[in-house]
Copies of this chain bind each other. A is one copy, B any other.
């Protein structure tokens, strides 16, 4: 907004442009998918509006390609960098939320049929195992890279989470026999 506060999505966009250098919206979209997309997904349309907003506030600079498709290229500005640093330094005492429609529905499992629960468990286990597979692939690629130390930490936390989730749904299936 026109005041100084950054939303989580602002932080993500700003942070990724800072990390990756000059970016088109599409580059940002791809970077989101490869990084925080699993924990904080949002539609690509928001990248366009968010980047435009950040540019309006002077946190990103916007350059338009001369030739070809005249895409917009964003760079982080001085004031963008300090806004990012300020955002990162704001303390957060709210614990993490686990947003899962699956778990929400499991909570109300008493009102659902056993078949529905089992199907849910099936799908959820599969989804978490798939995400695990890609995360482990990324882990193999980036481990040891000291410059990506924090990204690796977050990735590994996600891996442990997906393992726990996959186990939860798998146990649920076994338990109902």
Residues of A bordering B, CB below 8 Å: 8, 11-12, 15, 18-19, 35-36, 38-41, 81, 84-85, 87-89, 91-113, 116, 119-120, 123-124, 126-128, 130-131, 147, 149-151, 153-154, 157-158, 160-162, 164-165, 168, 172
Contacts and interface: CB of A to CB of B under 8 A. Distances in A.
7 contacts: A8-B101, A15-B111, A36-B107, A38-B95, A92-B105, A93-B124, A103-B154
Which A-B residue pairs are the 5 nearest by beta carbons?
Answer: A96-B100, A109-B150, A88-B112, A95-B127, A15-B108
A62 to B, nearest CB: 21
B110 A147 contact: yes
A58 to B, nearest CB: 18
Contact of A88 (B38, B116, B131, B172): B116
B165 A95 contact: yes
Nearest to A101: B92
B91 A8 contact: no
Interface-central residue, A35, A92, A130, by most chain B CB under 10 Å: A92
Contact of A97 (B12, B19, B41, B126): B41
A91 B39 contact: no
A92 to B, nearest CB: 4
Nearest to A165: B96
Contacts of A161: 96, 98, 161, 164
Contacts of A18: 108, 111
Contacts of A12: 104
A19 B97 CA distance: 23
B89 A39 contact: no
Contacts of A102: 92, 94-96
